[in-house]
Amino acid sequence: MINNSIQLFERAQRSIPGGVNSPVRAFKSVGGTPLFIKKAQGAYLYDADDNRYIDYIASWGPMILGHAYEPVVKAIQEYAEYSTSYGAPTELEIEMAELILSMVPNVDMIRMVSSGTEACMSALRLARGYTGRNKVIKFEGHYHGHADSFLVKAGSGVATFNIQTVPGITAGVSADTLVAAYNNLEQVQQLVAENKGEVAAIIMEPVAGNMGCILPEAGFLEGVRALCDAEGIVFIMDEVMTGFRLAPGGAQEKLGIKADLVTYGKVIGGGMPVGAFGGRRDIMEKIAPLGSVYQAGTLSGNPIAMIAGYTTLKTLKDNPSIYAELDEKCNYLKIGLNEVLQAWGQPYIINQLGSMISVHFSDHAVTDFATASSANNARFNQFFHAMLKRGIYLPPSAFEAWFLNNALTQQDLDETIRAAKESLQEID
């Protein structure tokens, strides 16, 4: 019974476009009514009809410690009495910056913003200002937020809704955005050669998470790094999803590759609207007020957002075993899913790294956008609904990674695997 969600969705659509404030939430590609959430605790979401779900979205990543994690809740409550914003600097912001620098060795300086989108668009402007060049190379199916330059062949909702070109983005902006296939180093090298001396930045999700979870193949990141060094291109790693999730130092640490600039979001805010971009001192010094690349925000470094993010990151830094626990949980899930999928007998692929995982109903390896798109995504949509009916809340699109949170118990994982076994019997 989801009567209350149905009613809320009808009401929402009268005042909010599509009834949602971010497109993928609308369940448009999987069909049906999005669940309206009343509250969450640990690994569980509760909808407006008081149904309980095991959550594999974790607010699309931020809730790595589980929902309503007590130290975070307490910190927000205590700080709120001091006021929720000043528009003037606070010591909290220094503590946050110092903490991030201590977790990510090659970040010399960091600037806080309020979303991953802002972080990526600011990093790109900075790379352009630093190099004096205009073009950017991005990868098909990668998502860097909704800034104009990044909505060319983007992942996440753009891929989910199969939007080919986004109206409102000028031809000039599109012309400056060059697109390569993920894991295709040759194509990147060719684009750089064809646009010699014009490419300001190469931006990528080091582990792609907005077309399902897709891992970099051996040598790919190293090759891009070497190319950037040779051509004076700023290598931007978009760690909005992977930052503080795959390791304390994110994908950079997990995969042993260093970017020039890194962008953060999601986990960094512990569930509050936070993003950040940082990296090499000589580049970061070009940002205003030190330099003339302008970037600003009325609510940037907001104290409530900082305290939530700081408490989350500090917990992760002080308890690195959390990463091993998450790895173990995700691995357990993968083994369990693998068993029931194999018994089911139809083709499938499971991609996983750390606490990110995705299932593709595909008979070929999923290594880039083309192979992710050619999976049987209608089958995924059926699987999604069969799982939801059994109280398992997966991302409502085959083009999204699932995120584990550390409040998940073995019992939850067993329940998920059991639900998957039953769900597979229902799909054709």
Ligand X SMILES: *Cc1c(COP(=O)(O)O)cnc(C)c1O
Give whole-number Cα distances, 374 to 288, 364, 383, 397, in Å.
45, 9, 17, 14
Residue 17 burial (10 A CB sphere; 0-12, 13-18, 19+): exposed
Give residue 294's Cα distance to chain centre.
26
252 φ, ψ to 5°?
-55, -45
CA dihedral 247, 248, 254, 256 (to 10 degrees): 180
User: What are the φ/ψ torsions at residue 282 (nearest 5 degrees)?
Assistant: -65, -25
Q: How far is the CB of 242 from ligand X (least distance, A)?
A: 8
Q: Shortest gap between Cβ of 109 and ligand X (angstroms)?
A: 20
- Tell me whether residue 428 is one of the annotated catalytic residues: no
Q: Closer to ligand X by CB, 144 or 360: give it.
A: 144
Instruction: Tell me how far, at minimum, the Cβ of 14 lies from ligand X, in Å.
Output: 25
CB 222, CB 241: distance < 8 Å? no
Q: What is the CA radius of gyration of the chain?
A: 21
Tokens of 140: 């098909």
In 128-172, which ranges are E strands? 135-139
Residue 190 has, within 13 A of its CA and on its CB side, a CA count of 7
**In the annotation, is 286 catalytic?**
no
Nearer to ligand X (CB atom), residue 120 or residue 413 = 120
CB atoms inside a 10 Å sphere around CB 160:
23
Q: Which two tokens stand for residue 308?
A: 């939530």
Nearer to ligand X, 121 or 420 (CB): 121
- Strand (E) or helix (H) holding 199: strand 199-204
Greatest Cα pair distance, the chain, in angstroms, is 61
Q: Which of 44, 143, 323, 348 is catalytic?
A: 143
| Residue 100 contacts residue 265 (beta carbons within 8 Å) | no
Write down the least CB distance from residue 149 to ligand X, Å: 12
The residue whose Cβ lies closest to ligand X is 116
For residue 336, the minimal CB distance to ligand X (Å) is: 26
Instruction: Count other Cβ atoms within 10 Å, centred on residue 44.
Output: 18
Give the C-alpha distances (Å, rounded to integers) separating 259 from 15, 94, 248, 276, 293.
Answer: 42, 23, 16, 15, 20
Identified catalytic residue from 238, 260, 368, 412: 238
**Shortest distance, position 156 Cβ to ligand X, whole Å:** 7
Q: Tokens 């990296």 sit at which residue?
A: 279
Is 266 one of the catalytic residues? yes
User: Considering beta carbons, is residue 277 or 348 the nearer one to ligand X?
Assistant: 277
Looking at the Cβ atoms of 144 and 258, the one nearer to ligand X is: 144
Tell me whether residue 405 or residue 423 sits nearer to ligand X (CB atom).
Answer: 405
- Contact residues toward ligand X (CB under 6 A) are 115-117, 120, 143-145, 205, 209-210, 238, 240-241, 265, 275
In the complex, what is the shortest distance from the CB of residue 398 to ligand X, in angstroms, rounded to a whole number? 16
Rounded-to-10 torsion of CA 411, 414, 415, 418: -160
* Nearer to ligand X among residue 242 and residue 371 (C-beta): 242
Quote the least distance from Cβ 214 to ligand X, whole Å.
12
Which residues, 6 or more positions from 348, have their beta carbon under 8 angstroms from its beta carbon?
341, 359, 360, 361, 362
- Spell out the residues 6+ positions from residue 190 whose beta carbon is closer than 8 angstroms to its own: none
Q: Which is nearer to ligand X, 135 or 144 (CB)?
A: 144
- Give the nearer residue to ligand X in terms of CB position, either 115 or 406: 115
Catalytic positions, written as ranges = 143, 238, 266
